[in-house]
Amino acid sequence: MPKGFAHGFVTLTPNVNVAYKVDGYYAPEADGGIAYDDPDVGIEWPMPLDHLILSDKDKKHPRLKDADLNFVYKEDK
């Protein structure tokens, strides 16, 4: 996925480790997101939403229409 592109993870079994590769260190000042349950995005989650375990940070993300949209796609050449 392109750098800066919105992404998320959901696991369907207990006791799962998720690892992913990044190109730099975590920078809280550059962190952002959109609400996982935003009806405008329309994700059909495969489990009841009251079963999700979210970080406090992820619980506070705005809906897409209210988010600071600063993503600019730059194709690698």
Res 71: pLDDT: 67
73: confidence class by pLDDT, cuts 50, 70, 90: low
pLDDT at 1 over 70: no
Instruction: For residue 39, name the pLDDT band (cuts at 50, 70, 90).
Output: very high
- Closest of 41, 34, 43 to residue 66, by C-alpha: 34
Distances (CA, A) of 29 to 32, 33, 41: 8, 12, 25
Count of Cβ atoms closer than 10 Å to residue 37 Cβ: 13
Q: Is the pTM of this model over 0.75?
A: no
Q: pLDDT tens, 10-33?
A: 888 888 998 888 888 888 887 888
